[in-house]
Amino acid sequence: MKDNIRLVKALVKLRFERVMMFRLGFFGPFFVDGSLFVIQLLVFQAIYSKVDRIGNWGQGDMILFIGTFSLINALNMSIYFFGVNSIPEKIRTGEIDLYLTKPVSPLLRLTFEQVNPGALPLVIFSIAIILYGINAAGADVTISSVSGYAVSVGMMTVLFYELEVIIRSLAFFTVSSDGVLQIEMSGLDLCMQIPGTVFYGAYKFVFYYVLPYGIIATYPSLILLGRFSWKMAAHEGIVLACFTMVTVVMWKTGLRRYDSVSS
């Protein structure tokens, strides 16, 4: 465990040093991601300015939901997205051979070797939107609800990571995973705009159990809104545990099936 922590610290340090060698490469993402965030807010404002409620979600509730999804996505983009997203390409080109020869976990190194400091402003902006959403929703925030929210956001960030690893690990078994990646993007776009509790029937099954993007921002938001139940808490924990097992099994199975391009 200590070795893994030292490895993560070394990878993050090297990444920051590499990025800071080119100042534009460090500060450029701040401007780009910040601009995209502002555009996203304007789009949502245009969509929801004339809508009083979506299901039982008022406008303040929706602002909190949007801020929560943005926060989890910002953590994703800051910490692990670019490393995990490179998995299919590294499998296709055989570059993953270099990771398999090192005395460390290949997935751990892939996860943290391309941290993106340029996405950190999105974390700050997202928190600002969350605070505004809490005020607009008139939520009765307590230390307990904030603590529960923080834990839930952490759990959903891990779930988001696991979903990305699972989908990109399909490259071990298929010639191309582009189709699945498109499904991922479509699902994310939908669940980023509509809370999971609004889904019903087949949509609820898909986005609660198969690709559970529907709970990623919904459950943490419901904690702050005081509408989170023990049933939801159990579902959140079970889904995370199940996808953790699927991630481990799929990654290890993929590595066993992998044939080096140099062999």
Structure pTM? 0.86
Q: What is the mean pLDDT of the chain?
A: 84
Q: Is 263 inside any structural domain?
A: no
Count up the domains in the chain and report the number. Answer: 1
Position 58 in a domain = yes
Q: Is residue 169 part of a domain?
A: yes
Residue 14: its pLDDT value, please? 56
Per-residue pLDDT tens digits for 14-65: 555 555 555 545 555 556 566 666 766 676 667 666 667 777 888 889 889 9
Mean pLDDT of the region 171-197 = 84
| Residue 104 maps to a domain | yes
- Residue 48 inside a domain? The answer is no
Q: What is the pLDDT of residues 138-162, one digit of tens each?
A: 999 999 999 999 999 999 999 999 9
The runs of H, that is alpha helices, within the chain are: 2-20, 23-48, 59-79, 81-85, 87-93, 96-100, 106-112, 120-137, 143-169, 178-191, 201-205, 218-225, 230-257
Is the residue at 156 inside a domain? yes
Q: In the predicted model, is pLDDT for residue 248 greater than 90?
A: yes
Contact residues for 223 (Cβ-Cβ < 8 A; gap 6+): 145, 148, 149, 152
Domain that holds residue 148: 2-42+53-257
Do the beta carbons of residue 7 and residue 108 sit within 8 Å?
A: yes
The helix (H) or strand (E) run that includes residue 54 is strand 53-54
User: What proportion of the chain, given as a percentage, has pLDDT over 90?
Assistant: 43
Domain assignment present for residue 223? The answer is yes
**Using one digit for the tens of pLDDT, what is the confidence trace for 217-244?**
999 999 999 999 999 999 999 999 999 9
Query: What pLDDT score was predicted for residue 257?
Result: 84
Could you tell me if residue 47 is inside a domain?
no
Higher pLDDT pick, 137 / 45: 137
